[in-house]
Structure 1
Amino acid sequence: MYWSSLAAELRAMILDALIQEGNVAHCACVSQEWKTAIGKHNFRSIRLTASDVPVLETLTAQNFGLIQYIWYCVELEEYDCSACDKDETEETTEANWVTLKDSIRSLFCALSARPMKGKLTLDISVHSPSDNQHFFKYICFEHADVHRSKGVAQQTSLQHTPLHDSIHNAALPPDFTVIDRLFPDIDFSDAEDGDAAFWATVPQVHSVTGLLLRRQTRRRWDPQALIQLTARLPNLQEAWYEPWREWSRMFQRSTDNRKCSPNSMTALPLIRLTTATGTERFFKSLISHNMKRLTIFEDLRETYIAANFSGLHPPSDAEPIRTVSIKVTQTLAEASLKLEHLSAAFVTDAARFWEARQPQWIWGQLLTLSLTSRMLVPTASPEKINSMLQAAAEAAMNMPKLVCMELWNGGQDHASVFRYRIALSRVGKPASIVWRSTRDLNVDAKVVSMWSAVAKSRSAGSFEVFKELLGPEYMIQSHGDAVDVLELQNQVACPVSIQQIRKEH
């Protein structure tokens, strides 16, 4: 039997099964059909470091156009056990600053030549290869492309470093200096010229449609740097941003409300914003006529601030459930008017989101909405929860395309979600609300009535109310576990990030 005698569908199935096994580049010479299929697989998802960027310039336009996902790893200076429990030296900080600038500039210059063809997701990670060789061996640096074949999965994590263990007492938790070494700011400015001179050398990249800034980058992106970065990606349709919360409430307020410098402002001809605060301004800069999905997940590992509770480091007083910035919440609420999908976890609060709503607002394109709320912690009163759910229903009446809304929260030993969903693809378009939680809640009659009205306004054929209580058999060690046991329908973070959170706890 000849290969060409097989049905096209069968040939495609065989090639797909072969490709899923990985290591098939040597098979490309079998035929043009095999070469095309294997080429699409080999080029669709790649990992690059700064030293790999020149290779992009050698690719043919056809192969360049096959790339759909780039994981770009910016690797900073390594350090040994004599420095792992100390602050970065000025020399190391300067070297890392130069590496960051050179890495971003070289990649954007290379990608600016990429032809517009389909979608391209850019996933940027910034770390030192030494970050998981000392106190934090559980940290993983992983590929985020969930469609990548099983034969080429990549993970960087070290489990045993005898030299470090012989120098430092592995039984003691790392102190604040050790932890803070992982979390310096990522910025591109200098004392004299700000960052305008640098960003003037970075071209626009029209081919990037998705941006991932994941929580495996512990270093914190400065809001001004993010504004400049995204300004050079004018065709962004999706953005996934997973910042780490600041260690102190004072620092968090500073980050949320940080002013943009005059030098930075002059380099922003592409965006016209009315305010000049940090996180708020960044979120506004993400919203363009092309943006369809915005996913924000603010992370916090409570053991990182445990020293505060022992009184050793009073400045590290980050809130396990933070008090949200009103301005940031207002910005997100207004920005969501143009989106198809919005998820904002721990960076805002659903109750404040509804308070920011203006009566005339219509979310004409919004399909899914996920928000966390401190109202959904075990100590919150049922009255306040029901009040928030009523406000959510009132807002949903102005979301004509809404398919799924999830209001949730979770942490160690607790998890709760309120979900509204309408199955537009099913006969009769059934709609439902569900309370799924480790705590019981009597959803009051007014809440049910208001959400029933939302369903009727969408011509739902039926409306049901469910309660799903989670018993002690569900082990919830972290917010990552909560995402899993709540069976959230909307993606609230990169799936790999949720897996990492669960592993780290």
Structure 2
Amino acid sequence: MVTLRSSTRQRAQRSSNNIHSSTREITKHASWDFLPQDIRRLILEIVSRQEGWGSAASVCKEWQDFIATKNFGRLELNQSNVHGLSKIVRQRNLIRHIYLNVELPTYTCRCCDSSFTVKIAEAATVRTCSRKLFSILSTWGLDYRITLELNVYSPSDQCHWFKNHLFGFDHEDGDDFTMDLKLLHDPRHGWEHGKQVSAPHTAAILHLFTPFTKDGLMSPNYYAEVPAIKKLIIRRQMRRRIPPDALQVLLERLPQLETITYEPWYVLSNSERRSHEIGTRAILLQLPQSVRSITIFEDFNKHIMKSVRYDSWRYTNTVFNLDTRRVYSNLSCDLANEFVLRSLDLEHLSVPFMINSQHFFEACRAPSTWPRLRSLILTTRIMTKGNHGEIMDEVVAAAAAAEKMPLLETLAIWYCSGKKACATIFHRNQGPMARWSTLTWRGTEELEFSELAVEKWQNVVGDQTLLVKYEKVDGGDIDSHGDAVHHLQLPEGVIDPRSLAQIRKEGKLQKEAWAVVPVNS
């Protein structure tokens, strides 16, 4: 037994009080409110990636608000749940992005090798679903800033010939997807022991890129105007084609649209290509005046083009345009002129492959000024196929146009072909303290700017110092045009980042699939 003297007891009491005080202080300083805002945000981001994280909303008001913002910030809707959007009232102000992902019925092997237009019932599904969405959103006010993303797919799209093509399915992001491809054995669709030994038939390709019809999909009387939609996205994962006249009807119902990101697939048929270019020109003439940013990335797949080339003899009544070099017609020149006129009111324009930058800059010679344009991204095959003089002529023409664009921050002219990829990129630093701008040649081919080209771009930047840079790209790293975009370090806005990741992944998957046996169908 231990007996404490009075002085000892007093010291012990003081010690005990100090311990309790320290404990309270530690508890206080370890509380959620004491943590810095950036740490709290990091914790919430980590929690939000865990399964069942929605139940964490009960922790405190801040967690509840964060989780509500996450839940409602991006809504994915389809034909089975689009009606539920009308019931969201209190959280409506949290909604920023609506992804309308319409699922079409599955199809059998008998259908996967037959080309046809979208069935009336399937088009009706898309029309009914999108019409309902527009009806609901038409009641929302002008103050809402909604991004609308559209997609149409069938679960069968990836089950037949196109197993290593990406459609935005959740399972595509996992490692299991890549491993499953290496074990594939489906001889009927050209796959043997993880290798694609025969190419898809042309009919299967045309089936995948089945076009809608205007009457089946869109009609002005079907759709309400939606001022709340400020941005429209149609990404390359949507293989089914929306004809320009149907897209025009859709755009007419978005009177306050500001941004368009559209990634259509290259039209293979010559006759359809012609109507596509005429229709695109009509769209530009009718775009809402509120539009300030246009990105149109006309995607393609070299394996699909090869497959159609080998199989085109079956289609004696159809002339296919299978040249990835993009031979531009007179209609393409007219389309470039239309883009020039429309760009007078734009802040951003990116149109890879659809038009030739040569035609664009020729049209820019007219006495005009681009008072808003900050970013311009174009392509021309001269960048990889032309000689030094031809490339310099294009760089000088670009500088002449840039002198009429007082707010221009970025201009890029680029191209890729096979393992070749080259770009001329101009970047101007803005602000009162900005003292320099850059003119960069970046590519797999070596080149030096001519004195005239440097002089013309120096005129663009005025008193700023123009830094001229040359950077080499390894052609061995380029398996697709997506790799070209990445390694050329093209400016933001050339393509949706998720689409770019898809193209790059497809390029690697398809290279591996054809590694042993070449396309020979």
**TM-score normalized by structure 1?**
0.85
Residue equivalent to 1:496: 498
Structure 1 residues 6 and 163: alpha-carbon distance in aligned structure 2, compared to 1, 3 A threshold: closer
Deviation at 1:24, TM superposition (A): 2.1
Residue equivalent to 1:57: 86
1:430 aligns with 2:432: no
For residues 339 and 299 of structure 2, what CA distance do their matches in structure 1 show? 18
* Structure 2 residue corresponding to 1:445, chosen from 446, 451, 457: 451
- Say which SS state the counterpart of residue 477 (structure 2) adopts: coil
Structure 1 residues 37 and 490: alpha-carbon distance in aligned structure 2, compared to 1, 3 A threshold: closer
Structure 1 residues 161 and 286: alpha-carbon distance in aligned structure 2, compared to 1, 3 A threshold: farther
* Structure 1 residue corresponding to 2:418, chosen from 412, 417, 420: 412
Residue equivalent to 1:316: 320
Residue equivalent to 1:148: none
Deviation at 1:283, TM superposition (A): 2.4
* Structure 1 residue corresponding to 2:264, chosen from 238, 243, 246: 243
Q: Does the 8 Å CA contact 1:65/1:117 hold for their aligned counterparts?
A: no
Deviation at 1:17, TM superposition (A): 4.0
Q: Does the 8 Å CA contact 2:99/2:150 hold for their aligned counterparts?
A: yes
For residues 78 and 250 of structure 2, what CA distance do their matches in structure 1 show? 18
Residue equivalent to 2:390: 384
Residue equivalent to 2:369: 362
Greater fraction helix: 2
Cα shift readout 1:60-104 (whole Å, capped 9, x = no counterpart): 2x312211111111111210223222234x8x6122121121121
For residues 251 and 215 of structure 1, what CA distance do their matches in structure 2 show? 19
Q: Does the 8 Å CA contact 1:362/1:399 hold for their aligned counterparts?
A: yes
Structure 1 residues 94 and 18: alpha-carbon distance in aligned structure 2, compared to 1, 3 A threshold: same
One-letter amino acid matched to 2:224: P
Deviation at 1:114, TM superposition (A): 3.1
Q: Does the 8 Å CA contact 2:429/2:435 hold for their aligned counterparts?
A: yes
Q: Does the 8 Å CA contact 1:411/1:476 hold for their aligned counterparts?
A: no
Deviation at 1:494, TM superposition (A): 0.6
Residue equivalent to 1:211: 232
Q: Does the 8 Å CA contact 2:166/2:506 hold for their aligned counterparts?
A: no
Residue equivalent to 1:471: 474
Deviation at 1:322, TM superposition (A): 1.7
Structure 1 residues 160 and 373: alpha-carbon distance in aligned structure 2, compared to 1, 3 A threshold: closer
Deviation at 1:238, TM superposition (A): 0.7
Report how many aligned residue pairs link the two structures. 464
Residue equivalent to 1:403: 409
Residue equivalent to 2:5: none
For residues 421 and 349 of structure 1, what CA distance do their matches in structure 2 show? 21
* Structure 2 residue corresponding to 1:45, chosen from 74, 88, 91: 74
* Structure 2 residue corresponding to 1:76, chosen from 92, 97, 104: 104
Residue equivalent to 1:374: 381
Deviation at 1:450, TM superposition (A): 0.4
Structure 1 residues 154 and 141: alpha-carbon distance in aligned structure 2, compared to 1, 3 A threshold: farther
Q: Does the 8 Å CA contact 2:445/2:472 hold for their aligned counterparts?
A: yes
Cα shift readout 1:31-63 (whole Å, capped 9, x = no counterpart): 222211211111101211111101111212x31
* Structure 1 residue corresponding to 2:351, chosen from 335, 344, 349: 344
For residues 409 and 486 of structure 1, what CA distance do their matches in structure 2 show? 10
For residues 189 and 201 of structure 1, what CA distance do their matches in structure 2 show? 11
**Structure 1 unaligned residues grouped into runs of 5+:** 145-152, 258-277
Residue equivalent to 1:130: 156
Q: Does the 8 Å CA contact 2:115/2:210 hold for their aligned counterparts?
A: no
1:224 aligns with 2:233: no
For residues 167 and 488 of structure 1, what CA distance do their matches in structure 2 show? 40
One-letter amino acid matched to 1:367: R
- Say which SS state the counterpart of residue 98 (structure 1) adopts: helix
Deviation at 1:408, TM superposition (A): 0.6
Q: Does the 8 Å CA contact 2:164/2:181 hold for their aligned counterparts?
A: no
For residues 46 and 156 of structure 1, what CA distance do their matches in structure 2 show? 26
Deviation at 1:359, TM superposition (A): 2.9
Of structures 1 and 2, the larger Rg is shown by: 2
For residues 161 and 339 of structure 1, what CA distance do their matches in structure 2 show? 46
Deviation at 1:164, TM superposition (A): 8.5
Query: What is the aligned-residue identity percentage?
Result: 30
Structure 1 residues 181 and 164: alpha-carbon distance in aligned structure 2, compared to 1, 3 A threshold: farther
Deviation at 1:235, TM superposition (A): 1.2
Structure 1 residues 471 and 358: alpha-carbon distance in aligned structure 2, compared to 1, 3 A threshold: closer
One-letter amino acid matched to 2:231: G
One-letter amino acid matched to 1:323: V
Larger mean CA deviation between 478-487 and 68-77 belongs to 68-77
- Say which SS state the counterpart of residue 71 (structure 1) adopts: strand
The root-mean-square deviation of aligned C-alpha atoms, in Å, is 2.7
Residue equivalent to 1:110: 136
Q: Does the 8 Å CA contact 1:416/1:438 hold for their aligned counterparts?
A: yes
